[in-house]
Amino acid sequence: MIETQPDARPYSPGLEGVVAAETALGYVDGERGRLLYRGYRIGDLVERGTYPAIANLLWTGDWDPDHHLPTSPVPAAVMTALRALPAAAKPMDALRTAVSVWGAAQTLDWPPTPEQARALTAFSPSALAAFARLRRGLEPVEPDSSLDLVPGFLYQLNGERADAATARALDAYFIVGAEHGLNASTFTARVITSTRSDLASAVVGAIGALKGPLHGGAPSEVVEQIHNAGSPANAEKWVRETIAKGDRLMGFGHRVYRAYDPRAAALRKVAESMEHKPDWLELAIAVEDVALRVLAELHPERALKTNVEYYAAPVLMGVGLTPDLFPATFALARHAGWTAHVIEQAGANRIIRPDARYTGPAERDLPA
């Protein structure tokens, strides 16, 4: 009988600190609170770019501020699948189903291309908007090719054109959500791609990873906690009681950032300038100010700063989305980054296959 050999190789739970890919797409500087897309600062991209321009930058490396990408029609097979879903289905499940059916109806040759990425990124907002209307007993709205992707999504969601300020606010959210390094859903997409599977399969897997509450669900929880705070005058009492109970303050702290999340800074500017900003934005700012002060007082050893989810909530509410649509809308924004990583992974591919340390019994015989 052979004993199992001890494994002295280092183990990093959650692969924390392990470099598993090289990328030219996004740079996340957690210590200094910086985020770059192909070298460009996220604040500059929000101020001067549009989501189609940022998506094209990620796919091709080219900066074209006039790049146009409208939403595209929902194929009949996808519409049939969406109509078959129960109205109580979660939007993330509907989006995952739609992308899967879309992929089954396409000829997605290897390697994945920017053209495939454009097609999928243009399709998914139409599919989510169609489901959102169907569950309310309304018929889907055909896309308007004269509109760029984000105002086109709002048009298909509501049946009327959004005003420029509302469309611009959601476009800013899409920009900051487009790419963020090797997060869980992006890593999932790259793992699937490394097997030489197709682009749609990679995005279906990414949606599944993003659906988890530890990855994509925080903005809707921010909405609930801001309501629970009640008023600016009650903010400090509520923050201290929440921390004392051991409850987590949603929208604060990040796996990577040790400084103020630059995406949150960009979205706070957007939220404060919105024409239809939520009435409780003043409360949100008050809660943030108190929370940062109290967290620094109680946990001076930990850098718990505002993250993107905190100001994503008022922006998404301000453009008229219901909280249950927040995670799926995040998934729409992340399509640009997911598909760019898929293309990059395929360009220098090696199947991703890490090892595991065995901790079970030694070799043994079956009982007689």
Quote the tokens at residue 244: 């004392």
User: In 291-329, which positions are buried (b, 16+ CB within 10 angstroms) versus exposed (e)?
Assistant: bbebbeeeeeeebbbbbbbbbbbbbbbbbebebebbbbb
* pLDDT of the residue at 2: 61
Give this prediction's pTM.
0.91
Helix (H, G, I), strand (E, B) or coil at 27: strand
67 as an active site residue: the answer is no
Beta bridge partners of 36: 27, 41
In this predicted structure, what is the pLDDT of residue 1? 56
254 is catalytic: yes
Quick check: helix, strand or coil at residue 26? strand
Catalytic residue among 67, 180, 254, 335: 254
Catalytic, out of 179, 288, 309, 344: 309
Q: What is the pLDDT of residues 17-74, one digit of tens each?
A: 888 899 999 999 878 888 999 999 999 999 999 999 999 999 999 999 999 999 999 9
Strands laid side by side in the 26-29 sheet = 26-29, 34-37, 40-41
Domain ranges for the chain? 34-215+338-347, 218-318
Q: What is the CATH number of domain 218-318?
A: 1.10.230.10
pLDDT tens string, the chain, 368 residues long: the values are 566 677 788 888 888 888 889 999 999 987 888 899 999 999 999 999 999 999 999 999 999 999 999 999 999 999 999 999 999 999 999 999 999 999 999 999 999 999 999 999 999 999 999 999 999 999 999 999 999 999 999 999 999 999 998 999 999 999 999 999 999 999 999 999 999 999 999 999 999 999 988 777 666 778 888 888 888 889 899 999 998 998 888 878 777 767 788 888 888 888 888 777 667 778 888 888 888 898 888 888 887 888 888 888 888 888 899 989 999 999 999 999 999 999 999 999 999 999 999 999 989 999 98
> What are the CA-CA distances from residue 138 to residues 77, 87, 114, 156 (Å)?
19, 11, 33, 11
- DSSP assignment of 154-182: HHHHHSSPPPHHHHHHHHHHHHHHS--SS
Got the DSSP string for 217-237? -HHHHHHHHHHHH-SGGGHHH
Nearest to 225 by CA among 89, 333, 323: 323
CATH ID of 34-215+338-347, from 3.40.50.1220, 3.60.15.10, 3.30.390.30, 1.10.580.10: 1.10.580.10
| Residues paired with residue 34 on neighbouring β-strands, in sequence order | 29
